[in-house]
Chains A and B, each alone.
Chain A
Amino acid sequence: MAEEQKEAKPKKRMTATKAAASIGPMVKEFITGTLQAKAEGKYKVAYTFIVCHHEEIFRALDVIPVWTENFAGICGAKRDAERFLQRAESLGFSRSLCTYALCGIGFDQWREELGQMPPEAPWGGQVRPDFMISSGQILCDPRSKWYQASQQFMPDVPIYNIDLPYPLFQENRDHREVLGYYHQYIVKQLRGLVAFLEEQTKKKMDYDRLRELVNLSDRTWNLIDETYKLRRAAPCPMGTGDAMNTMVPINFMMATQKAYDFFVDLKKELEEKIARGEGEVENEKYRLMWGGGLPAWYALNDFNYFNSKGASFPVETTYRMVAPLNEMDLPETKDPIEHLAWRWLGYWTFWYDKAKKRPGSEPDVERLINWIEEYKIDGVVMHEAFSCRTWHVGLIWQLHQLAKIYKPIPVYMIGKGGQKEKVYRELPSLILESDIIDITSYSEVDTRNKIDAFVETLESIQSNRAT
């Protein structure tokens, strides 16, 4: 494997907000921090996954999380994932598997083989962990398998695999019937995590500190929710392209003052933009929703391309990992662990009751419908990343279901008799196909052609509007 060619560097993406522009350096600082922590040896570093909503436990025990999905995303964004993916393939992993995991495993194996970071490792590289926290959530098989596979190359690094299920939406059942034993189980799993971390760090959990951190992240949750809801304004002050950056404090920095402060600043910036009538797009013609899927990290510029056609993205279902806590109806408890478990369940079941009320709906579809209304959406864009089933299976079904139960656009069209008649049209949608970080799956020409055709579609619907 002498030839580890890098792809050409992408053009820098233009952000609509100052806040989003500040994320790059923040991530870099974060990664440098993990390398430094490891070198100093004062704190333990742990591989782990985002959206498990228990980072407070790490922070209370001064464990430094290394978000391995994030590192793979960085390799992708820098168009430098291919050499790690190829390495994983050489080890016998199929390219059809989660490419985040393949990139991480390829990188780790290389680092372990060399006894040092691979040459020109992005942003200094991914540090060797002291231990790994897998997460067998209800979703994401690769999360359960990734670290187990990595252990082949670092068998001395222990794993704690925490199971965090939630009850799946079932039309014929009230999920509250089963929440009790789900909660009990999650509490036990979280306590197991605490015990594992205590053993690894040789520290005792300070529950007062944990309670404070949980309180801090609860406040941050609500603040994020308020901030993001500002994007309902027309023109929309911040789009999904920026949100793919501002997901960093949400997912990597929860339970830190820095994350809270970040959203204080962002909220202020958005309020100011709204007051000035300033939008993500200068002349906002179409408001689109990023309705599903992780982005192609090497092609975030496509958001600028949408913007250049007058399309803004006021809302996305991806990485918006909060829901207003006061609307979740969480049982009161003084025990922070119990609270974390309730918050986890509350988050995942947030749309269940609403979905029950609308025949044919289900939580993800319900969220689409609600946000289409709240954010005045003209079209839905989704991304189908071939290597990730976790977030990309079920999307076309959601669109299908959406079309069945939601037909809000009245347009004139020619019926069988050749007469013009008023009908209700489903929301137009676009599915982009490529991958999160495997750039060989992506064609800029094809993607832009699709975007062109989609925008022409939006245009023709607008001109045929019945009202």
Chain B
Amino acid sequence: MEVNVLAFGIAKDIFGGSSVSVSLPDDANTVQLKQALEEHFPRLKLIASYLVAVNNEYADEDLLLSTRDEIAIIPPVSGG
């Protein structure tokens, strides 16, 4: 399946845009998403940490993804 991944902050710089499309096996989880992204964008491995949000919630590692999900990469936050 193809999922669309939103990017913010440093992740936007790394992806070179505010979203990227990623090919994943059907029913991939967030760990597989991270692996695929890090393969395409090795600089992702250099940031302090990052989380995956699915449908506006922080996602656990074993959460299964679907093409209808709103998926986002959340680098270390720094608001306030």
A associates with B: no
Interface residues of B (CB under 8 A from A): none
Interface residues of A (CB under 8 A from B): none
